[in-house]
Structure 1
Amino acid sequence: MLYAFELSGEHEELPAAEIFACLKIEGLDFRPHTIVDQCLVVEITGKEEDVEETLQGPITDRLAMTHHILKVVGISENNPDAILKLAEAFDPSGYIKEGQSFVVRAKRIKHSVDFPGEFLEQKVGGCIYRKGFRANLKNPDVEFRVILSEKAIFGTLLSSIDRSAYEARNPQNKPFFHPGVLMPRVARALANLSGIKPGELFMDPFCGTAGILVEAGLMGARVIGIDAQEKLVKGALMNLEAFKLDYVLMEGDACRVPLKEETINAVVTDPPYGRSAAILGGSLEELYSCALSEIERVLKPGGIAVVVSDKAAAEYGEKAGLKVLNIYSQRVHRSLTRTITVFQKELKNENGKQE
């Protein structure tokens, strides 16, 4: 069965990468089907009821860079004739039940089409009405959506991500605020990229005000935070307490993590940039080199570390023995572009050697 994810568009690659990570975390059997601007269509195999329960439950709860999840009716060229032909021909069983009401919503992505969405909503609505269903614009049982990108994706709404919850957790709304931190949606997406699961151990060795830890903790992870500044550790404590999370905090050095080898399931961290980093680490190079060595030491084999930096961290991670899986760039403003590097500690074979 095909399912579509209506993406936020705030990054070219991260929203889709976050979805793939979440589907993998939940153990769904999937493969990419179609990728167009701000929409990803995935084929997921398995019992339909179980798949949709997972999509509407844990997947919806985890995602940050997606607006909606749809059950796909069909995909066509993005012109009215092709879309209406699809709407006329589709079998409504499996999408809407007898006696249920419906509404049609069309979403135009940028300048993909030159015709109004309202026109299409009326025409597609007419097709569904002629199949024996009644329209209800205010309180429908089923919402049909048409995403108008390079292709037209027609489907029914399964769930919507509560993006307002992330806005409510913006840094300035937390008990302790410090400038220059990641926004909650980005922090959540990076935590998802790490593959962290409920009950697992998650670490941020440069935790600052605990923005990343809060997002991982809200997904059920047991979080461990370290920071060199006493003020920030106290602030992180206030923020973690506000969300009643399972955490351990310590004032310490990311280059000397007081944890046993191979005890952490995932790491996501946003080390300090520029002058502050040089003050804490002697030099930026020393800081990245020793911190990534410690991350490699404490990560379990197969564990993922996501490192945010204002310069490429790949070379330091590779020297520490980590494998680079992906590198993403995120432009924050004219003078700052973040580099997001996803590392993995390689699995060991039967002889205890890395594969």
Structure 2
Amino acid sequence: MLYAFELSGEHEELPAAEVFACLKIEGLDFRPHTSIDQCLVVEIAGNAENVEKILTGTITDRLAMTHHILKVVGITENTPDAILKLAEAFDSSGYIKEGQSFVVRAKRIKHHVDFPGEFLERKIGGCIYRKGFRANLKNPDVEFRVILSEKAVLGTLLSSIDRSAYEARTPQNKPFFHPGVLMPRVARALINLSGIKSGGLILDPFCGTAGILIEAGLVGARVIGIDAQEKLVMGARMNLEAFKLDYALMEGDACRMPLKEATIDAVVTDPPYGRSAAILAESLEGLYSCALEEIERVLKPGGIAVVVSDKPASEYGEKVGLKVLNIYAQRVHRSLTRIITIFQKDNFSEELKNENKSRE
């Protein structure tokens, strides 16, 4: 069955990558089908009822860079004739039940079409009305949505992501505020990209005010935070307490973490930028190098580390044996572009270490 994710468009690659990560976390059998501007269509195998329970439950709760999830009726060219032909021809069973009411909503993506969405809503509504269903604009049982991008995707709305919840958690709304932190939607997307599952153990060795840890805790992960500044550790505690999350916090050095080897499932962190940042290392380059060495040490084999930086961090990670899976650039403003590097600890490197230890 095909399902469409109506993406936020706040980044060219991150929203789709986040969807794939969440589907993988939930163990769904999927493959990409169609990718167009601000819409990703995925084919998911398995019992439709079970799949949709997961999509409307855990995945809807986790996603940050998606607006809506649709059950796809069909994909066609983005012309009125092609879309109306699809609307006339589709089998309504599986999308709307006898006696249910409906509404049609059209979403135009940028300037991919030059006709008004309202025109198409009326026309598609007429097609569905002729199949024996009644329209209800205020309180419908089923919402049909058509996404007008490079192609047109018609489907029924399964769920909508509550993006207002992320706005409610903006840094200024938390008990302790400190400038220069990630916004909750970005932090949640990075948590999802780490592949952390509910009950997994996640570390932020530069935790600051705990924005990343809060998003991890809200998806059910166990969280550990470290920061070099006592003031920020105290502030992080205030923020975590406000969300009633279980946590472990400590003031310390990311280059000398009091954690055992291979005990952490995932790391997501946003190290300090700029020369004025309060760090214990002699330079930012030295900080990245030694912190990534520690991250590699504490990660479990196969574990993911998501590192945000203002300069490329891939070479520092590769030097300590971490594998680079992906690199994303996110422009924040004219003088700052965040570089998001996804590392993975190689199973082979851990096996080699163990072999060397046994020889010693």
Whether TM-score is above 0.5 comes out as yes
Contact kept, 8 Å, 2:321 with 2:349, in 1: the verdict is no
Query: For structure 2, which runs of at least 5 residues remain unmatched after alignment?
Result: 355-360
Shift of the alpha carbon at 1:320?
A: 1.0
Contact 2:25–2:197 under 8 Å retained in 1 = yes
Question: Could you tell me which amino acid in structure 1 is paired with residue 18 of structure 2?
Answer: E
User: Alignment length, in residue pairs?
Assistant: 354
Q: CA deviation at 1:278?
A: 7.1
Q: Counterpart in 2 of 1:152?
A: 152
Deviates more, 1:63-72 or 1:278-287: 278-287
Number of the residue aligned with 1:84: 84
Tell me the alpha carbon deviations over residues 78-126 of structure 1, each in whole angstroms, 9 at most, x when there is no partner: 0100000000000000000000000000000000100000000000000
> What residue in structure 2 maps to residue 259 of structure 1?
259
Q: Deviations over 1:261-292 (max 9, x none)?
A: 00000000000001134743211111000000
In structure 2, the residue matched to 1:36 is 36
Task: Give secondary structure in 2 for the equivalent of 1:192.
Answer: helix
- Tell me which residue corresponds to 2:164: 164
**Separation of aligned partners in 1, 2:32 and 2:183:** 28
1:111 is aligned to 111
Residue 246 of structure 1 and its aligned partner are, at CA, apart by 1.3
Give distance in 2, aligned partners of 1:350 and 1:205.
Answer: 21
Deviation of 1:348 after TM superposition, in Å, equals 3.9
Runs of 4+ in 1 over 2 A off after TM superposition: 276-280, 348-354
Give secondary structure in 1 for the equivalent of 2:32: strand
SS of residue paired to 1:275: coil
User: Which letter does structure 2 place at the counterpart of 1:245?
Assistant: L
What are the superposed Cα offsets for residues 59-88 of structure 1, whole Å, 9 maximum, x if unpaired?
000000000000000000001000000000
CA contact (8 A) 1:278 1:284 kept: no
Equivalent residue for 1:26? 26
Are residues 328 and 22 of structure 1, via their aligned partners in 2, closer, same or farther at CA, if it must alter by over 3 Å? Answer: same
Is 1:280 matched up with 2:288? no
SS in 2 for 1:276: coil
Letter in 1 for 2:200: E
- Pairing 1:46-125 to 2, within 5 Å after superposition: 46-125=46-125
SS of alignment partner, residue 3 of structure 1: strand
Aligned counterparts of 2:215 and 2:40: Cα–Cα separation in 1: 24
Unaligned runs of 5+ in 1: none
Q: Secondary structure at the match of 2:12?
A: coil
Q: What per-residue deviation string (whole Å, max 9, x for no partner) do you get for residues 130-163 of structure 1?
A: 0000000000000000000000000000000000
Q: Which 10-residue stretch deviates more, 16-25 or 275-284?
A: 275-284
Residue 331 of structure 1 aligns to a residue in which SS?
strand
1:350, distance to aligned residue in structure 2 (A): 10
**Whole-angstrom distance in 2 between the partners of 1:38 and 1:266:** 28
Alignment correspondent of 1:315: 315
The separation in 1 between residues aligned to 2:114 and 2:131, in whole angstroms, is 28
How far, CA to CA, are the matches of 1:240 and 1:257 in structure 2? 21
Cα shift at 1:353: 6.0
1:230 is aligned to: 230
Overall identity of the aligned pairs, in %: 86
Aligned residues of 1:262 and 1:299 also touching (Cα < 8 A)? yes
Note the aligned Cα RMSD (angstroms): 1.2
Question: Aligned residue for 2:357?
Answer: none
TM-score of the superposed pair, with normalisation by structure 2: 0.97
1:181 CA displacement: 0.2
The whole-number CA distance in structure 1 between the counterparts of 2:174 and 2:106 is 36
**2:133 matched residue in structure 1:** 133
The residue type paired with residue 131 of structure 1 is K
